[in-house]
């Protein structure tokens, strides 16, 4: 085959980086196949150039992909350089600090006379979905994500009750109750986790942590029976968040975690009323709106 140099050729139609900075609207003319990939399409709205993998190839939804964003960095009001920011495979959105500090704690049974209000699963998920879909995203039930660290039920079930021992204060036979009450997670394994809601392309998923999830994750020794149960959903949510963050490959996903606010009647009240239920809904709504702010910050929604 004889190779003949080209005498002339058309100037490439794609905008340069400098042109795209001056007119972000130019990026609307990206190849249509990019728009079909939700993991990439969700990033385009940020007004920046995108590179997938090591070459100019289309990444599929099931393919391990390193998504990198090239963006200008401002320093003292001037753009000084272009920085490549890698998008990790798993981004777990930060949770509302106010909720982590004040909500999701308590107990019931025994001598507890003012029990907390728990939202029903359907009620909570209806509220979450309604708020999230105001962003324009469409959510589906029970979306599964692979490669996450999850409780190993089989390993936990094989443990002998006698294998547990109550923690003792150093050098004494006295039980260390502070250590005893700490939340400890079941053994973990890598597998598939079902989220309550997620987008069709699995780029955004959310989970509402409630009583059944507390039982699923907690590694609780059984030394005897008690009519009193305590819980700390804020602690559970923090530990689950740290666990999910360990997923470091696979298609990029943003995870939102919400938890049961466990709202109590106002001071002096002994039973839940409509006002208590309303406050529970507002507390959960605040968690969801905090997640929506994160999606805006990441350029997923406007």
Residue 302 lies in a domain: no
pLDDT of the residue at 172: 85
Same domain, 109 and 158: yes
pLDDT of the residue at 299: 93
Residue 251 lies in a domain: yes
Same domain, 206 and 144: yes
Spans of the chain below 70 pLDDT: 1-85, 107-114, 156-167, 177-182, 220-229, 268-272
Strand partners, 84: 70
pLDDT of the residue at 5: 66
Residue 188: phi, psi to the nearest 5? -110, 155
pLDDT of the residue at 143: 98
| Domain final position from 54, 87, 120 | 87
Same domain, 80 and 33: yes
Same domain, 136 and 271: yes
Residue 2 lies in a domain: no
Residue 205 lies in a domain: yes
- How far apart are alpha carbons 27 and 64 in whole angstroms? 25
Residue 50 lies in a domain: yes
Provide the domain limits for residue 37.
17-87
| Domain final position from 57, 87, 117 | 87
Residue 86: phi, psi to the nearest 5? -75, 135
The domain tally of the chain equals 2
pLDDT of the residue at 182: 67
| CA dist 267 → 114, 115, 186 (Å) | 10, 12, 36
Same domain, 150 and 71: no
Same domain, 212 and 280: yes
Same domain, 97 and 39: no
pLDDT of the residue at 58: 39
Same domain, 152 and 24: no
Same domain, 170 and 41: no
Residue 274 lies in a domain: yes
Residue 10 lies in a domain: no
| Domain final position from 55, 87, 119 | 87
Same domain, 50 and 127: no
Same domain, 183 and 288: yes
Residue 130 lies in a domain: yes
Same domain, 101 and 62: no
């Amino acid at each position: 085959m004889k190779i003949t140099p080209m005498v002339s050729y058309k100037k490439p139609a794609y905008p340069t980086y400098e042109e795209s900075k001056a007119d972000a609207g130019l990026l609307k003319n990206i190849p249509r196949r990019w728009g079909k990939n939700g993991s990439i399409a969700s990033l385009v709205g940020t007004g920046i150039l995108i590179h997938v993998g090591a070459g100019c190839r289309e990444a599929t939804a099931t393919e391990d992909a390193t998504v990198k964003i090239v963006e200008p960095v401002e320093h003292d009001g001037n753009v000084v350089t272009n920085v490549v920011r890698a998008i990790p495979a798993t981004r777990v959105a930060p949770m509302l600090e106010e909720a982590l500090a004040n909500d999701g704690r308590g107990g019931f049974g025994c001598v507890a006379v003012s029990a907390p209000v728990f939202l029903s699963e359907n009620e909570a998920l209806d509220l979450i979905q309604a708020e999230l879909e105001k962003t324009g995203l469409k959510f589906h039930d029970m979306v599964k994500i692979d490669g996450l660290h999850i409780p190993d039920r089989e390993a936990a079930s094989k443990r002998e009750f006698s294998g547990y021992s109550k923690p003792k204060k150093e050098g004494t036979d006295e039980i260390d109750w502070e250590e005893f009450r700490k939340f400890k997670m079941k053994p973990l394994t890598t597998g598939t986790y079902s989220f309550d809601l997620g987008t069709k392309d699995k780029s955004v998923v959310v989970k509402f942590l409630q009583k059944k999830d507390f039982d699923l994750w907690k590694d609780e020794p059984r030394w005897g029976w008690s009519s009193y149960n305590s819980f700390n959903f804020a602690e559970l949510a923090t530990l689950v968040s740290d666990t999910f963050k360990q997923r470091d490959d696979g298609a990029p996903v943003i995870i939102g975690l919400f938890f049961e606010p466990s709202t109590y009647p106002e001071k002096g009240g002994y039973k839940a009323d409509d006002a208590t239920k309303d406050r529970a809904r507002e507390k959960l709504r605040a968690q969801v709106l905090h997640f929506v702010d994160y999606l805006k910050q990441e350029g997923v929604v406007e």
